[in-house]
Amino acid sequence: MTLKQYKDYFKDNFKWTDLISIGKIDNNQEKAICFYNSNRNLAYVGTIGGLKNKSTNIKPITILLRYTKNQNDAEIMARQIYDFFNERSFFIKNKRIFTQMIYSEPISLGTDDKNVYEYSFELDFYEEREMI
């Protein structure tokens, strides 16, 4: 799965209507969300018996939310996004995806130099593999 596929899933199912992107966020927008390939490195876990016995791949993703100069509004939106993904399972192109949040709540990053509140989310998406 690609970042774009996850972004599109979120946009369609969360009904996100503000700016949404992958790889780079527009810092000039007061309401924006961006999906990134995570910088977290996951340890390689081999599968006994080889790839043919592996049932999932893991895709670590970071989501950055920029949302208004109002702390309460930003926190409420961050919580809604967190709750949307928390322990969710869904399908993208007939592949089942399971979501695991890495932290117990959205990570508050405070404000940027324009006083816009930012939140970060760390997720692992477990992508069901086709069995060979």
What is the full per-residue pLDDT of the chain (132 aa) written as tens digits?
899 999 999 999 999 999 999 999 999 999 999 999 998 776 666 666 666 666 668 899 999 999 999 999 999 999 999 999 999 999 998 899 999 999 999 999 999 999 999 999 999 998 887 655
All residues at 6 or more sequence positions from 27 whose CB lies less than 8 Å from its CB, including other chains: 66, 112, 114
Whose tokens are 């592949």? That residue is 95
Other CB atoms within 10 A of residue 125 CB: 22
How many Å apart are CA 70 and CA 31, to the nearest integer? 11
Q: Does domain 3-128 have CATH number 1.10.3720.10?
A: no
pTM: 0.88
Domain ranges of the chain: 3-128
